Amino acid sequence: MLELDETLDDSGETRRDFFTRIGVGACAVAAVGSGVLTLDYLEPKVLFEPSTTFVAGSPRDFTDGVVRFNREKKAYVIGGPTGVYALSAVCTHLGCITRFKSDERVIACPCHGSRFDLDGGVVHGPAPRPLPWLDVAEDANGNLVVDTGIVIPRGKVFRP
Amino acid sequence: MTAFEWARNTSVYRSIIRHGVLPTNRNRSLIIFENLFLHVHPVKVRERSLRFTHTYWLGGITLASTLILVATGVLLMFYYHPSVPQAYRDMKELQYVVDDGVFLRNLHRWAAHLMVIAAFLHLLRVFYHRAYRPPRQFNWVVGVVLLIVTLLLSYTGYLLPWDQLAFWGVSVGTNMAREAPLIGERMRFFLLGGNVVSENALLRFYVLHCVVLPVALLLLVSVHIWRVRKDGGVQGPPEEGARRRAQGADRDVAETPSAPRPLRPAP
């Protein structure tokens, strides 16, 4: 009668060790997989958030120095010397809504005192970054359309 | 025979508490040992560890406020819908319409404040009494995690009234999360369930506040209190132990079942 030898090869691993490894491996794959699936599940795929675009009016309204604030979409539309551009009104510090002070020609945050110039640059902290420039386009009626969801490079002025 | 004694001898009571009413130390110990809820607590505590100046009762105050928060929180949930704008209306309804609603809501709020303050002072107390040292170092870590869970509970509860304070509190807080390197933006998106503080964010904070974090708290508190027993009971001011040893009066510690023991036998 053959002597029962559990060792399958020279590595010294028994059949039991082998199946244990397979089992533990399968459990690990399942654990990682369910973790990934859970994270994926928690990420919303369709968002019912308000539209990020608004119609700002005719480009002719925005002569040099005109600043208009859209309260609902939290953005400024500003007439510059060469064209029109839009700035986010959300403070880059902690997300409060800034306000344009027409007497000082400055954008100021009521929460922690940050101040920005009309190009969005930080004049006074604690804001760490300038206000982002937002995408400005023209619709079929020739009106300006601002998209607060699209940030464009600073200084890219819209010329009608 | 009093009614109390009669009740303790009924078959129903004896089926729940098997060890009867024999007033021996062994029997009293067994009653504690064999009860799921009581066994996290030591069978015997030294009289001086119950003195107010020993621990300032801060852990107990934290636990008591937690129990108040669970009780009042569950009652508030019966009237609260985590949706916009119903959440704000429900909060107002609790304030002005529901019987005792304003009492329960305010009790929940004050207990929450007390829990944070007491947990914070409890950590300070443990630190200054050097009670974080071995063999209690793991329980210190559990305590720090518990403080974080407490703060997260406070913060997630802050959004639920859905008023201006809540909205801006969470706007600012999640913008802080956004500043975390690499994962900040994703983390904010997952927390809010979107890009703005909206109904998704309210629902997520509600589930975190009412299910995920309380369950985590319950598990960790159980471990925490059970480890206090396992690590040798509460440690008061370190000077006290030194003074008692100097007077040779520390013998009662060795006789107490919950006396501090090294985790491994000394070599």
Q: Residue B1: which H helix or E strand, with range? A: none
CA distances from residue A84 to A92, A98, A119, A138, A144 in whole angstroms, order as listed: 22, 20, 11, 11, 9
ipTM score: 0.72
Give the β-pairing of A67-70 and A144-152: unpaired
Query: What token pair was written down for A133?
Result: 């420039």
Q: Do A44 and B168 touch (CB under 8 A)?
A: no
pLDDT tens-digit readout, B159-179: 999 999 999 999 989 988 988
Q: Name the band, by pLDDT with cuts 50, 70 and 90, for residue B219.
A: very high
Picking from A146, A41, A32, A142, the residue whose alpha carbon sits closest to that of residue A88 is A146
Q: How confident is the model at residue B253 (pLDDT cuts 50, 70, 90)?
A: very low
Query: What does the buried/exposed string (b/e) look like for A50-80 if buried means 16 or more CB atoms within 10 Å of the residue's CB?
Result: eebbbebeebeebeeeeeebbeebebbbbbb
Q: Considering CB atoms only, which of A44, A50, A95 is closest to B171? A: A95
The residue among B166 and A11 whose pLDDT is bigger is B166
Task: Inspect the interface and report whether the beta carbons of B189 and A94 lie closer than 8 Å.
Answer: no
Residue B93 belongs to a domain:
yes
Output the furthest CA–CA distance in chain A (Å, rounded): 104
pLDDT score at B115: 97
Q: What is the mean pLDDT of residues A126-140?
A: 91
pLDDT of residue B254: 44
Does A46 lie at the interface with B, CB-CB under 8 angstroms? no
Angstroms from B184 CA to nearest CA on chain A: 14
Residue type, B259: A
Q: Which of A94, A97, A150 to mutate to probe the B interface, most B CBs <10 Å?
A: A94
Q: How many domains does chain B have?
A: 1
CB spacing of B200 vs A47 below 8 angstroms: yes
Q: What CATH code is carried by the domain that includes residue B81?
A: 1.20.810.10
* Nearest-CB residue to B190 (from A42, A50, A111): A42
Under the banding of pLDDT at 50, 70 and 90, the label for residue B221 is very high
- A145 and A138 in contact (C-beta within 8 Å)? yes
Give Rg (Cα) of chain B.
Answer: 23
- Tokens 């060792």 correspond to A7
- Is residue B28 a part of any domain in this protein? no
Distances (CA, A) of B23 to B19, B27, B199: 10, 7, 58
Cβ pairs A/B, distance under 8 A: 27
Reported for B257-263, long-range contacts at CB under 8 A and 24+ positions apart, including other chains, are B257/B42, B257/B43, B257/B44, B258/B42, B258/B43, B258/B44, B258/B45, B258/B229, B258/B232, B258/B233, B259/B232, B259/B233, B260/B135, B260/B231, B260/B232, B260/B233, B260/B235, B261/B135, B261/B232, B262/B135, B263/B134, B263/B135
Q: Which domain holds residue B101?
A: 54-234
Rounded average pLDDT over B236-245: 71
A111 within 8 A of A23, measured Cβ to Cβ: no
What is the pTM for the complete model shown?
Answer: 0.81
Chain A, 49 to 108: residues with Cβ < 8 Å from chain B are 49-50, 94-96
Residue B43: both structure tokens together = 């069978």
Give me the phi and psi of B263, to 5 degrees please: -65, -35
